[in-house]
Amino acid sequence: MQEDKRAGETTRKGFYVYDDRRKANPDPELTKYIEKARNISGVTIDPKLTKLSDKDILEMVFFPVVNEACRVYAEGIAVKASDLDIASVMGMGFPPYRGGIMFWADSFGSKYICSRLDEWSKMYDGGFFKPCSYLVERAAKGAPLVSG
C-alpha cells in the first residue's frame, strides 16, 4: 500500500477511499493488498472461520471474557459478580445497558456458554476456549453465574 502511495486521507486512498467531503468508503481494491499480504506471510484462512455468523463472532470474542470473569470470581479476586459487572462497564467499556459482563452472560445461561466454549475448545485444539471449573460446575447445575 505504501508503494502505491495509499496514505489515507491525505492521498484520498488507504484502507478506504475518500470522497470530496472526506467521507471514507470501503475500497474494493483492498482485497488485492490483503491477498498479497497473506501470500507473503504464508497465512491461510481456516475454512471453518469463513462461515462464522455475526452471532458466532460476538460469542467467540465475549464468551472467553465471561470465562475469565468466572475464574476471577471463583478465585475470590472479585467478591461479588456485580463487582465484575462494574469493572467491565467502567474499565472495559462494556455497554452499560447490558448490565455488565456477568449479568449479560446470564442472559445466555451458563449451560449455553459452557457448551459453546467446550465446542470451540475441541474444534480449535487449545486451552483458550476451555471452560473453567466454576463455569462447568454452574452449567452442570443449570445455575446462573451471578449467584454463589
**HEC readout, 34-48:** HHHHHHHHCCCCCCC
- How confident is the model at residue 7, as a pLDDT? 84
At 48, the pLDDT band (50, 70, 90 cuts) reads low
Distance between alpha carbon 85 and the CA centroid of its chain, in Å? 17
State how far the Cα of 146 lies from the Cα of 102, in Å rounded to an integer: 6
CB atoms within 10 A of CB 132: 20
DSSP three-state, residue 8: strand
For 14, 22, 30, the CA distances from 27, given in Å and listed in that order, are 8, 14, 6
Q: What is the mean pLDDT of residues 30-48?
A: 79
pTM of the model: 0.71
At 97, the pLDDT band (50, 70, 90 cuts) reads very high
Question: Among 42-46, 77-81, 134-138, which is the least confidently predicted range?
Answer: 42-46
Question: Among 43-47, 77-81, 89-93, which is the least confidently predicted range?
Answer: 43-47
* C-beta separation of 103 from 39 below 8 A: no
Fold classified for 49-141 = N-(1-d-carboxylethyl)-l-norvaline Dehydrogenase; domain 2 (1.10.1040)
pLDDT exceeds cutoff 60 at 148: no
* C-beta separation of 101 from 114 below 8 A: no
pLDDT exceeds cutoff 70 at 16: yes
Between 40 and 132, the more confident residue is: 132
Delimit the domains of the chain by residue range.
1-44, 49-141
- Three cell numbers, residue 130: 476451555
